[in-house]
Structure 1
Amino acid sequence: MGISIPGFETRSIGVADGVELNAAVGGEGPAIVLLHGFPETHLMWRHVAPTLAEHHTVVCPDLRGYGASSKPEAVAEDTYSKRTMAADIVGLADVFEFDRFALVGHDRGAHVAFRAGLDHPNRISHLGILDIVPTLDTWNVLHGVTAAVAFHLYLMAQPPGLPEQMIARSADAFFGHFLEVWSTSSRTIPAEVRAEYLRACRDAVASIVADYRATATVDIEHDQADLDAGNRLTMPVTVVQQDWGRQLGFDAAATWRPWTTDLQHFTTQAGHFMAEEAPEDITTLILSLVKR
């Protein structure tokens, strides 16, 4: 791969059941793990990770099914559940011998981080969430014509077969659509980075769809079970998101409060790809989070 995070080395790390995660690693100090979103790879952290690495060990993996990480066939319902993907991240931390670590996720990575915080509270010291609401709440707040903004959620929730075929036959147009409409400027994702994202997604259609399909099935079951049991995120949590509440007609901060015990919630004027558009702001918020 021709593009990399400056000052970081890239490694392939076995985490579980023959699954290897491709990860960029740099710095020294208390650990921070950064999880990318859709339709990206770990390269989305290229402007944030180097600054964090001045005082932290920073690990930026490609999620299972994305980038250069393993893409196991979705032979079971939970192959791409956020519970399984969160276990990958804890397995990654085990390899580095991180007893506790801060975890920050964007978009799909934020759903994985959220699940890791619920399933492994003894391992996650601080939790950062960029531009999502919890999986269960995502489906609850989408309604009427406003749900059109999330048409891809409904497409990839369909049974195996049709979504994969449709997307694979126009992969660059499909994934490129989101890179365009979710960016506020053509400078947010330069041409060479865009090309790398499209190449990575083109090679991962089935696993990306499986990840999204799990969000409409087993992930909901896991979230509902935790909500019913009164389980909450017990570590300091920082949520940064666009003003989805105004756009979709709900109180985003209030949506997060039942899931947390120590919440700081911020809205941003940046677009969805905030770590690439406003890296200084996101870096500052992450550094503030890990000091709480």
Structure 2
Amino acid sequence: MPYQLDSGFTHNMIDLDDVRLHYVRGGSGPTVVLLHGWGSTWYMWRRVMASLAENYTVIVPDLRGIGDSGMPQKPLTGYDKVTVAGDIHQLVERLGLGPVHIIGHDHGAAVAYAYSATYRDEVRSLVFCEMALMGVAGDKGIEYFMDQREELRLWHLSFHAANHVAEMLIHGKEREYLRWFYRMQIVNVDAIDDEDIDVYARSYAGPGGLRLEYYRAFYQDGIDNKRLAQQKLTIPVLAVGGANSIRDLCVSSMEAVADDVEGVVVPECGHWLPEERPEAFLENVTAFLQRV
């Protein structure tokens, strides 16, 4: 049965200075912004949005160039995390919301860090899920996963960063590639079923839909992160990893850039945390939000 958006939420479009963003909104109270990563859209938060909206205004955008954002013309540039964070900040400003609690997964976590470090007075807390920062965490950063010398790590990071090659090889097989991509990094295999894959494939198979520029921006992200990390975050930070995925490397990244870091490793969980273990996600995140 196709997913039905909860009646308390609405789909919206907004024209910003140089990009059009799609976002979902619901609830009332202090603002929580949920940012997805690559291979996902706003839809990845579907199992946790309603619970968060009981106490918070929940804003769930599609990042620049992904999902319904940027339609009908996807931006060709601007996929470094500082620029994408600027999109989200402008969205929050236009909606008259903030300061915010910002929660990110994968690339969305890197965007959430860039937002927190750039707009320091406008962020209440940061939840950093299933990501390692480029440029600042030494052998525990993204570079660790891109190093293929000792063992097979996350080879797709280098593959996606190869300019135009990945698009050429994936084109026409986006659904098959995404299905493999989810299965490669998942423990609870029922968490992303065929209907869910159809939702994601419709986004990523569209013109310009792969948006692998997020990976090609890693090296600029590293430069930006080194600059931003010169002043550590002082807001509360929760770093959450899956036991069968990044584990405590989220904490290592955050400890390199923030003073007040709490770490959680969710058992029996792969990369797709809010979809695989929504109850554990909500338990840890709502307790954290209540404390801060």
Query: What's the TM-score once normalised by structure 2's chain length?
Result: 0.88
Q: State how 1:191-210 maps to structure 2 within 5 Å.
A: 191-203=194-206, 205=208, 208-210=211-213
Alignment partners' CA distance in 1, 2:276 and 2:260: 27
SS in 2 for 1:234: strand
**Could you say which residue in structure 2 is the equivalent of 1:139?**
142
Code of the aligned partner of 1:157: A
Alignment partners' CA distance in 2, 1:276 and 1:5: 16
Alignment partners' CA distance in 1, 2:112 and 2:175: 27
Alignment partners' CA distance in 1, 2:151 and 2:224: 23
Code of the aligned partner of 2:251: A
Code of the aligned partner of 1:257: E
Q: Tell me if the contact between 1:111 and 1:134 (Cα under 8 Å) persists in the aligned partners.
A: yes
Which structure 2 segments of 5+ residues have no match? none
**Could you say which residue in structure 1 is the equivalent of 2:156?**
152
Code of the aligned partner of 2:202: R
Matching residue within 258, 261, 265 for 2:259: 261
Cα offsets for 1:46-104 (capped at 9, x unmatched)? 1101001011110111111111111665655xx11101100111111112211301000
- TM-fit CA distance, 1:6: 1.5
**Could you say which residue in structure 2 is the equivalent of 1:211?**
214
Q: Tell me if the contact between 2:104 and 2:128 (Cα under 8 Å) persists in the aligned partners.
A: yes
Distance 1:135 1:246, change over 3 A: closer
Q: Tell me if the contact between 1:65 and 1:204 (Cα under 8 Å) persists in the aligned partners.
A: no
Distance 1:63 1:146, change over 3 A: farther
Q: Does 1:82 align with 2:76?
A: no
- TM-fit CA distance, 1:145: 5.1
**Could you say which residue in structure 2 is the equivalent of 1:126?**
125
**Could you say which residue in structure 1 is the equivalent of 2:63?**
63
- Between Structure 1 and Structure 2, the one with more helix by share is 1
Number of residues of Structure 1 aligned to a counterpart in Structure 2 = 282
Code of the aligned partner of 1:53: A
Alignment partners' CA distance in 1, 2:245 and 2:212: 26
Larger mean CA deviation between 169-178 and 62-71 belongs to 169-178
SS in 1 for 2:189: coil
Query: What's the TM-score once normalised by structure 1's chain length?
Result: 0.88
Q: State how 1:1-292 maps to structure 2 within 5 Å.
A: 3-7=3-7, 8-17=9-18, 19-70=19-70, 75-76=76-77, 79-136=78-135, 137=137, 138-142=141-145, 143-144=147-148, 148-159=152-163, 161-203=164-206, 205=208, 208-215=211-218, 217-227=219-229, 230-243=230-243, 253-269=251-267, 270-291=269-290, 292=292
SS in 2 for 1:199: helix
Code of the aligned partner of 1:192: E
Q: Tell me if the contact between 1:131 and 1:240 (Cα under 8 Å) persists in the aligned partners.
A: yes
Code of the aligned partner of 2:37: G
- TM-fit CA distance, 1:148: 3.1
Q: Tell me if the contact between 2:241 and 2:249 (Cα under 8 Å) persists in the aligned partners.
A: no
Alignment partners' CA distance in 2, 1:81 and 1:147: 28
- Runs of 4+ that moved beyond 6 A: 244-247
Distance 1:13 1:252, change over 3 A: closer
SS in 2 for 1:236: strand
Alignment partners' CA distance in 2, 1:43 and 1:116: 21
- TM-fit CA distance, 1:206: 5.6
Which structure 1 segments of 5+ residues have no match? none
Alignment partners' CA distance in 2, 1:251 and 1:73: 32
- TM-fit CA distance, 1:4: 4.2
- TM-fit CA distance, 1:255: 4.0
Alignment partners' CA distance in 2, 1:189 and 1:207: 19
Distance 1:180 1:75, change over 3 A: closer
Q: Tell me if the contact between 2:129 and 2:250 (Cα under 8 Å) persists in the aligned partners.
A: no
Aligned sequence identity (%): 26
Distance 1:33 1:175, change over 3 A: same
Q: Tell me if the contact between 1:73 and 1:207 (Cα under 8 Å) persists in the aligned partners.
A: no
